Chains A and B, each alone.
Chain A
């Protein structure tokens, strides 16, 4: 199976047909290994609801132990009866836990966590499709889901049970448990990740002692994702959990959290698969800024530093994030970043990719952003003006041209004298450039004419033999020093003019860039 080249993936315009044609579906691998050689028969235990209350605890533990037996779901015909027994037992356990009180006695905890660990902590199968594109391809679902789903359900009810005691549970739900849980976030099955998300969220909430550890491990996962593998399926879910954590941060923010923002969250924007988790990532960033507005400047500078240069799909996402940040920004913070930010927006607005230009122009439809621009119009208008004015004449897309009109009109109404001034200076600059261009053309023409005249001179003086030509050439030079040196001089003057011209233009463009 040949890989799809990078050029076919740019901008999300992946050609599905290309890859589907190349893909050969391998059979799904299982994540469970048969440890027994002989098949295990499970015999159904009596129902919990039928058992007398004195026996219920014992029966509960027995059922838990029974559910520790693992089955191979890739074998779709084997052990059907036993699988059904286990499924029914799991179902019953879930119900029993949800509807009864007093189930969670101290010695039930290790049995419960053992059953859960045995069932869900497994090595995830290697991906069937090494070029798995989460946006386009169907994910490989977990084969043993009929059982595993119930185990997750059970774990969740366990954590949310009113009798649940973190002080007892923390002996079993420890760092090792959490670490293995985190590894499962790499599952391709979205249903599994959804459960894991809720479960980890509850664990974080209830086990204060594990919080720092969880944060650290999530950091590790992200950093490895950004800098080493660029592969992890659970980034969005982890970010969602982080969103609710960030939302709950106490003020003033701890240095650790600020470091996390700058060293992990901002670099996370560089990931190729950003579209999968951008919404959640943007939410986290905005939450940080709402907690501590003084972080605005480093955040925006960080985003500008990582601004996408070749992926337009990402650029549109970045613009969306900037708008969300601007929606909550404080005017004093805005003043600090307005110049670099609008320089970038000015480039986006003249981007030939129409979606990027549109998204950037649409900022002017946002009332709050307009009020910020208006307050600082004398700084912002000069930055935006020339690119807006230029593309109003040059952009290929008609919708964009209409939007530019809206933007120019809005800006004009904000500060008419400044706008008129900029228009006038833009026009004079254009005039000057045109004149320079003409002058340069004329210089080249003169140079050409000079060359033509010299060549014809040489040809006239030669007797048609190459050797003689050289001789005659040098003779010519020697004999008529004035004439030829005059030519040389004229050429030198013209070359100097052209050089000066080039230097001037270079200087101008440098000063413009500043």
Chain B
């Protein structure tokens, strides 16, 4: 028997223990600040990181990986970038490597794409051995824990807690929104518990439910999340969601896609475009039609033309009638 206003105690305990663990998986704030202020050519910049994360999102979607794979991959990437000084040219390799590590942890073995396929599809320039070496480095430097606590963990917990008390939309939308947020470096500064809560708060604000507000306040109380902190992140999330929902094309200006086609198709594409014919244009004169009156009389004499007249199904009618304008 559950108190309608109260959150399920089991879930609450889970939340608290996750909260305790979340600090282990936070990227260093100092490192994130450094990335933010980096101009593009001196080290890894926010734009570089964001672009790479967007790519990881496409790859996740393409390979059918779960949201958890993506979230963990981004977490690994951010943590690595904040503890190691890397050159921008290595970021693609690091990014793909993090995705691969996360996939191996989260997905079933048969669903994990092989490394050569990953490299080929992402049109990356490094090799499989590069990827393997990078994997070793990352595993050494970071504690790669399959049970890592991320914003998604909290999102699921919050969602199931609220879901047992209120009718709310499915978690699919929230997951998509979380993915969109993670493509911005700024959100890596937030504590996962706070980020997840602000997502929920902004999504369900629309529902205007007093019960939900109370539940959120309860979460805040138990997990010690301050009002100002929540408000700050909620504002940022709202802004991000507005951009996400707007129908403006959002093309990150990273590398252009390479279109590789087979030799035969390439050949036919080249020879395809029919060049302007060698025959010059013959302008149609406005007095063409009156001239055709002349030929009308001759027409009868060539009725038995060997070329054959139009079919006997009466479709021939449209031509002769024109001559009688």
B322 → A minimal CB distance (Å): 5
Contacts of B147 in A (CB 8 A): none
A245 → B minimal CB distance (Å): 5
Q: Is A362's CB under 8 angstroms from B295's CB?
A: no
A414-B249 contact, Cβ under 8 Å, with A213-B295, A249-B284: yes
Q: Is B305's CB under 8 angstroms from A204's CB?
A: no
Closest B residue by C-beta to A210: B295
Is B108 on the interface with A (CB-CB < 8 A)?
no
Report the Cα distance A213→B250, complex, angstroms.
57
Contacts of A420 in B (CB 8 A): 176, 179
Report the Cα distance A240→B276, complex, angstroms.
10
Is B314 on the interface with A (CB-CB < 8 A)?
no
A413-B291 contact, Cβ under 8 Å, with A244-B279, A279-B272: no
Which of A174, A358, A414, A417 is in CB contact (< 8 Å) with B298? A174
Is A283 on the interface with B (CB-CB < 8 A)?
yes
Q: Is B120's CB under 8 angstroms from A402's CB?
A: yes
Q: Is B283's CB under 8 angstroms from A179's CB?
A: no
A residues 401-425 near B (Cβ < 8 Å) are 401-403, 405-406, 408-410, 412-417, 419-421, 423-424
Q: Which of B285, B292, B306, B323 counts the most chain A CB atoms within 10 A? A: B292
B146 → A minimal CB distance (Å): 23
Closest B residue by C-beta to A239: B277
Contacts of A211 in B (CB 8 A): 288, 291-292
Contacts of A176 in B (CB 8 A): 302
Which of B272, B306, B318 is in CB contact (< 8 Å) with A183? B306
Contacts of A247 in B (CB 8 A): 281-282
A243 → B minimal CB distance (Å): 5
Q: Is B277's CB under 8 angstroms from A240's CB?
A: yes
Is B30 on the interface with A (CB-CB < 8 A)?
no
Q: Is A250's CB under 8 angstroms from B274's CB?
A: no
Is A182 on the interface with B (CB-CB < 8 A)?
yes
Q: Is A250's CB under 8 angstroms from B283's CB?
A: yes
Report the Cα distance A415→B179, complex, angstroms.
14
Report the Cα distance A254→B310, complex, angstroms.
20
Q: Is B322's CB under 8 angstroms from A248's CB?
A: no
Q: Is B281's CB under 8 angstroms from A362's CB?
A: no
Q: Is A183's CB under 8 angstroms from B261's CB?
A: no
Contacts of A398 in B (CB 8 A): 120
Is B245 on the interface with A (CB-CB < 8 A)?
yes
B residues 103-131 near A (Cβ < 8 Å) are 120-121, 123
A241-B244 contact, Cβ under 8 Å, with A209-B295, A213-B299, A402-B121: no
A135 → B minimal CB distance (Å): 14
A416-B180 contact, Cβ under 8 Å, with A220-B310, A408-B61: yes
Report the Cα distance A424→B287, complex, angstroms.
63
Q: Which of A80-88, A113-121, A223-231, A503-511 contacts B (4 or more CB under 8 A)?
A: A223-231
Contacts of B244 in A (CB 8 A): 416-417
Q: Is A358's CB under 8 angstroms from B279's CB?
A: no
Closest B residue by C-beta to A320: B272
A355-B264 contact, Cβ under 8 Å, with A204-B282, A216-B319, A224-B308: yes
Which of B262, B282, B307 is in CB contact (< 8 Å) with A354? B262
Is A217 on the interface with B (CB-CB < 8 A)?
yes
Instruction: Kindly state the interface size class of chain B when it binds its partner.
Output: 35 or more
Contact with A along B224-261 (1 / 0, CB 8 A): 00000000000000000000110101111000011111
Which of A174, A179, A204 is in CB contact (< 8 Å) with B307? A179
B169 → A minimal CB distance (Å): 11
B152 → A minimal CB distance (Å): 15
Q: Is A362's CB under 8 angstroms from B261's CB?
A: yes
Report the Cα distance A297→B58, complex, angstroms.
35
Report the Cα distance A198→B244, complex, angstroms.
60
Q: Is B307's CB under 8 angstroms from A221's CB?
A: yes
A184 → B minimal CB distance (Å): 12
Contacts of A283 in B (CB 8 A): 274, 277
Q: Is A399's CB under 8 angstroms from B274's CB?
A: no
Closest B residue by C-beta to A407: B257
Report the Cα distance A316→B264, complex, angstroms.
11
Contacts of B120 in A (CB 8 A): 398, 402
Contacts of B273 in A (CB 8 A): 324
A409-B58 contact, Cβ under 8 Å, with A205-B282, A256-B322: yes
Q: Is A408's CB under 8 angstroms from B259's CB?
A: no
Is A219 on the interface with B (CB-CB < 8 A)?
yes
Report the Cα distance A175→B247, complex, angstroms.
62
Report the Cα distance A123→B318, complex, angstroms.
31
Q: Is A401's CB under 8 angstroms from B121's CB?
A: yes
B51 → A minimal CB distance (Å): 12
Is A365 on the interface with B (CB-CB < 8 A)?
yes
Report the Cα distance A176→B289, complex, angstroms.
20
Report the Cα distance A220→B88, complex, angstroms.
68
Closest B residue by C-beta to A365: B259
Which A residues are within 8 Å of any B CB, using their own CB? 174-176, 179, 182-183, 197-198, 201, 204-205, 208-213, 216-217, 219-221, 223-224, 227-228, 240-241, 243-245, 247-250, 254-256, 259, 263, 279-280, 282-283, 316, 320, 324, 354-355, 358-359, 362, 365, 374, 377-378, 392-393, 398-399, 401-403, 405-406, 408-410, 412-417, 419-421, 423-424
Could you list 15 A-B pairs, sorted by A, with CB under 8 Å?
A175-B301, A197-B279, A211-B291, A212-B291, A212-B292, A212-B295, A212-B322, A223-B310, A228-B308, A247-B282, A256-B322, A362-B265, A392-B62, A403-B259, A420-B176
18 new A-B contacts, CB < 8 A, other than A183-B307, A362-B269, A401-B121, are A175-B302, A179-B302, A179-B305, A198-B279, A208-B287, A213-B299, A219-B319, A220-B309, A223-B311, A224-B307, A250-B283, A279-B274, A316-B268, A355-B265, A365-B259, A402-B121, A413-B249, A424-B176
